Amino acid sequence: MKQLGNQDAGFIYAETHNTPMHISGLGIYDQSTAPGGRLGHKDIIQYVQDRMHFAPIFRQKLVEVPFGIDKPYWIDDPDFDIEFHIRHIALPHPGDWRQLCILISRINSRPLDFNRPLWEAYIIEGLDNVSGLPKDSFAILVKVHHSAVDGASGQGVFGALHDLTPEAKPQTPKTPMLADRNPTNVELFSRSIGNNVSRSIGQTKSFFKEAPGILKTALKLYRGREDSGGKLKVPKTRFNSAISPHRVFEGTHFSLEDVKQVKDAVGKGTTVNDVMLCTVAGAMRKYLKHHEELPKESLTAMLPQDIRTESDRKEFGNKVGGLFAELHTNIEDPIKRLLAIHHSTAAAKKTAQEMNTAAVVQNFTGGFLNPYLGKALNRVLQSTRLIERLGPFGANTVITNVPGPNFPLYHAGAKMVAYWGLPPLMDCLGLGHAVFSYCGRISLSVTACRDSMPDPQFYIQCCDESLIEIIAAAKLLETPKKNTRRTASAKASSAKASKKRLAKSSPTVTQEVLNSISRDVNEVAEDTASLANDEGNEDSSNNPEQAAPKKRRVSRRKSTAHKETATNTDEADNTEKQS
């Protein structure tokens, strides 16, 4: 039996019908790589059961302390039934991507059953008309409550459900897995007395120790200082109001190599994460501008940050902080926006370092109150819509980035071909993005309240167009000198080609005329080469008038060459007529 931490308990208190606090992941699999080329429902159940000991949360359920006087506990469920947690469904005909997104949205909208271990998995068949997928592919949607995992510890669950090769071998535990008995109320009461006393003392000491750093950071965000990376009060959009229980989901993917090329072309320390933030910023800008709702001020994103140390790297639960960085949606130019985002994320990291984030998260996040007070406070905030009236605070959206492996993974022998994440939503934060890299691709998914985003297909189209614009702008980052040399070479080549075409199409032109044209061609080549050198010097001296005389001389020589050619050609025609 293990008690939840403050941050873990906070996600339990935040759970309502409108705000289910689970994290979801959608994987697509090619079953042709599995033994025999086919997988059945029982095969997947057996595969998961053989690996449950790698992630204890699969068997752990929540036990509440009576009257909510202390935080709840995890115990191994004595009545665990794996077939309740793994369900098998199929898309109706024709089984396309849009139908899959609608199904995922509906399943993701439903809260988990708190009387059982807080996870579910759905095997989804019938993806017959989803473009780009191998034949007979299937999907698996996994839902796990945020009180059990965060983005980093969720990788442990992800790893437990996958192998590095198609040859899946049984992974039986070295020792038998034993279930806990349900604790009595007397046991829970007795534990709560000592816990409340020790927790109160610890939180009081931590408050006085961390208060200066917390206050300093809060003031920087409140004043919106540039060196803070973000700001406390952010502009309100359609995504920053009370949310409904309904969700929408959409996803796309990009080439990791394309994103890296943008990073390398722009330079100045930009990262792959900066490029993806710029992509989301461009998409939000396009979407809100289309609906004539784009604020003049920059929107801000909350970026979850893993704060684990090496000693607790393998622990489940939550140890996650957050950065607040401006997305600079008020900047139209994609490269300028990218550089501004890079500056904001760097400043946000520095701001987070000034405060002991780990101590703040573990002592002062949602679970520092007992469950009774925590749930009551959450109900009051939702019923009065106080956060919506006073907010939004800190962020307009959430963008989580989890790096995946650059090698293929297999589930029961079936190769994973794609993966998308689905973060939870809450009031005033009704839009979430998840970025995941895997095997040379980056997937980007969006989850939103259906009331605020009734057109998720259009939003994901904005995401695609945003990255295309960034890539195109990055390709234009070439030096003027290279462009000038290319232009000079092209002019000389064009002049020589004109000479050949003229000789071939005009057999009556005399050798004297061709020699004259040849001389002019050589002069044009020399002048264009000289012009290239002058323009190179012009860039360093910033004197735009130096190249003008050369341009005029080239233009006059071109005109003289054409006139002489026309005169000589007329003379040749007259000679032919006389003869």
Positions annotated as catalytic residues are 146
Tokens representing 462 are: 């904005």
d(CA 75, CA 79) in angstroms, rounded, equals 11
Residues 532 and 158: their CA atoms lie apart, in Å, by 58
Reduced 3-state DSSP string for 477-546: CCCHHHHHHHHHHHHHHHHHHHHHHHHHHCCCCCHHHHHHHHHHHHHHHHHHHHHHHHHHHHHHHCCCCC
Angle CA 249–132–120, to nearest 5: 40
Q: Produce one character per residue of 43-58: b if its CB has 16 or more CB atoms within 10 Å, e if not.
A: bbbebbbbbbbebbbb
Distance CA 537, CA 533 (A): 6
Residues 6+ apart with CB under 8 A from 228: 217, 220, 221, 324, 347, 348, 351
Give the long-range contacts of residues 162-165, CB within 8 A, separation 24 or more.
162/409, 162/410, 162/411, 162/416, 163/409, 163/410, 163/411, 163/413, 164/407, 164/409, 164/410, 165/410
Which ranges of 354-479 does DSSP label H, i.e. alpha helix? Answer: 357-364, 371-384, 386-390, 456-475
Other Cβ atoms closer than 10 A to 380: 10
Name residue 150's amino acid: D
Q: Are 527 and 535 in contact (CB under 8 A)?
A: no
Alpha-helical (H) ranges within 86-241 are 97-109, 154-160, 185-223
Q: Other CB atoms closer than 10 Å to residue 523's CB: what's the count?
A: 17
Tokens standing for residue 331: 């900047």
Strand partners of residue 431? 448
